[in-house]
C-alpha cells in the first residue's frame, strides 16, 4: 500500500477481529481505489481524542463499533436523520471546511440485505423485534420505513422497547409487548437484536410465534447466532429461512463506502467470500 493511500479506519474496543478492513479493502480493490483501512483500538476514555486526531491528520472516513457508537454521534458537528433516530453513529465523515458528520448505516444495511439478497419483501408483513439496544433501534426504524404491516417490539427491560415505539410514534402499526406476553401471536419475521447469543441466555419465547412460512433473522453471525438459529428451527422456521447478520455487515459497510467514495461496490462476491469463513 502506498504511503499516499487514503486513510480510513474502524474504531472499537475490542476491535482486533473486525471484518471491516477486509470488507472495505475488497470493495476498494474491485473499484481500483487505493485505500489504507485500519483498525484502531480506542479505550472509552481515549475515543474522542483519537477520532479527532485521526481526522486532523487527514483521515477521510471512520467506522465506529461497540462500545463507541453513542459517543460517535455526540462528538459530531452534524448528523444525518438516520443517526439522530438511532441515537448512535457507525460512520463518521469529515466535513468540507472542518468538523465531522455522523451517520448510521445499520438500518439501511439490514433492509438491503433482507430485501435484495434474501428476496424478503417487508411490505405488508408482521414483524417481531427482540431487543431494544442501539442495533434494535436502527432496525425498528428501518422496518417501519420499509412498510411492514405491524412491528412488535419486546425487550427484557420493557421501558427501552416503549421508548423506541414512542419515538416512532405510530401506535396503530408499532407496539410493544412484554417478553412473556406473546402467547397467541404469530409473525412472518422475527429479528433477534439482543446480545443473548454473545452474553448467553435462553430465547424463552412461545414456539407458536413462528410458522413454517416465517423468516428468522439474527443480527449476529457465526457462533453468536447459533442459539437463536437453534430456537428458530426448533420452533418451525425452515433452516434455509434463517438468516444471520453477515449480509447486513457487508451491506452496512457498502453504504458507508458509497458515502465516502461515491461509488457502490458489488457486495455479492465479498459476501460469498466471507460466507465461506462464517
Instruction: For the segment 216-245, give every residue that binds ligand ATR (CB under 6 A).
Output: none
Which span sits near ligand ATR by CB under 6 A: 76-84, 107-115, 165-173, 196-204? 196-204
Decide: is 196 part of the binding site for ligand ATR (CB under 6 A): yes
Instruction: For the segment 12-71, give every residue that binds ligand ATR (CB under 6 A).
Output: none
Query: CB nearest ligand ATR: which residue?
Result: 133
Which span sits near ligand ATR by CB under 6 A: 55-63, 142-150, 193-201, 267-275? 193-201
CA–CA separation, 122 and 136 (whole Å): 16
Interacting residue with ligand ATR among 12, 21, 131, 247 (CB under 6 A) = 131
Decide: is 133 part of the binding site for ligand ATR (CB under 6 A): yes
C-alpha cell at 135: 442495533
Interacting residue with ligand ATR among 93, 150, 155, 252 (CB under 6 A) = 155
Which residue lies nearer to ligand ATR by CB, 28 or 132? 132
Which residue lies nearer to ligand ATR by CB, 12 or 134? 134
Strands 100-103 and 174-177, sheet pairing: unpaired
Could you give phi then psi for residue 72, rounded to 5 degrees? Answer: -60, -35
Residues whose CB is less than 8 angstroms from the CB of residue 124 and which lie 6 or more positions away in sequence, other chains included: 147, 148, 149
The nearest distance, CB 196 to ligand ATR, in angstroms, is: 5
- Using alpha carbons, select from 130, 183, 184 the residue that is nearest to residue 153: 130
Contact 76, 24 (CB under 8 A): no
Interacting residue with ligand ATR among 135, 182, 235, 249 (CB under 6 A) = 135
- Using alpha carbons, select from 191, 225, 227, 186 the residue that is nearest to residue 206: 186
In the block, residue with C-alpha cell 438511532:
86
Q: Annotated catalytic, 229? A: no
Reported as half-sphere exposure (CB side, CA atoms, 13 A), residue 85 has a value of 21
Interacting residue with ligand ATR among 62, 83, 114, 136 (CB under 6 A) = 136
Q: Output the CA–CA distances (angstroms, integers) from residue 172 to 149, 169, 175, 191, in the order listed.
A: 10, 9, 7, 20
Total chain residues near ligand ATR (CB under 6 A): 16
Decide: is 190 part of the binding site for ligand ATR (CB under 6 A): no
Binding site for ligand ATR (CB under 6 A): 131-136, 155-157, 160, 193-196, 199, 201
Active site residue ranges = 69
Amino acid at each position: 500500500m502506498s504511503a499516499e493511500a487514503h486513510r480510513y479506519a474502524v474504531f472499537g474496543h475490542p476491535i482486533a477481529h473486525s471484518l471491516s478492513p477486509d470488507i472495505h479493502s475488497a470493495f476498494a480493490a474491485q473499484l481500483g481505489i487505493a485505500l489504507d483501512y485500519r483498525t484502531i483500538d480506542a479505550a472509552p476514555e481515549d475515543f474522542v481524542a483519537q477520532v479527532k486526531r485521526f481526522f486532523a491528520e487527514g483521515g477521510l472516513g471512520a467506522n465506529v463499533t461497540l462500545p463507541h457508537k453513542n459517543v460517535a454521534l455526540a462528538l459530531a458537528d452534524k448528523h444525518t436523520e438516520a443517526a439522530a433516530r438511532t441515537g448512535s453513529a457507525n460512520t463518521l465523515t469529515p466535513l468540507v471546511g472542518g468538523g465531522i458528520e455522523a451517520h448510521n448505516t445499520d438500518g439501511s444495511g439490514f433492509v438491503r440485505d433482507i430485501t435484495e439478497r434474501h428476496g424478503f419483501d417487508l411490505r405488508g408483513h408482521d414483524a417481531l423485534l427482540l431487543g431494544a439496544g442501539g442495533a434494535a433501534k436502527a432496525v425498528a426504524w428501518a422496518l417501519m420505513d420499509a412498510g411492514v404491516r405491524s412491528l412488535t417490539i419486546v425487550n427484557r427491560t420493557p421501558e427501552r422497547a416503549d421508548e423506541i415505539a414512542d419515538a416512532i410514534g405510530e401506535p396503530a402499526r408499532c407496539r410493544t409487548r412484554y417478553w412473556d406476553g406473546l402467547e397467541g401471536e404469530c409473525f412472518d419475521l422475527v429479528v433477534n437484536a439482543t446480545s443473548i447469543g454473545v452474553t448467553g441466555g435462553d430465547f424463552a419465547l412461545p414456539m407458536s410465534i413462528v410458522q413454517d412460512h416465517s423468516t428468522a433473522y439474527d443480527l449476529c453471525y457465526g457462533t453468536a447466532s447459533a442459539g437463536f438459529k437453534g430456537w428458530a428451527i426448533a420452533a418451525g422456521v425452515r433452516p434455509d429461512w434463517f438468516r444471520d447478520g453477515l449480509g447486513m455487515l457487508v451491506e452496512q459497510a457498502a453504504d458507508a463506502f458509497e458515502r465516502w467514495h461515491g461509488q457502490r461496490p458489488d457486495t455479492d462476491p465479498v459476501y460469498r467470500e466471507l460466507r465461506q469463513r462464517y
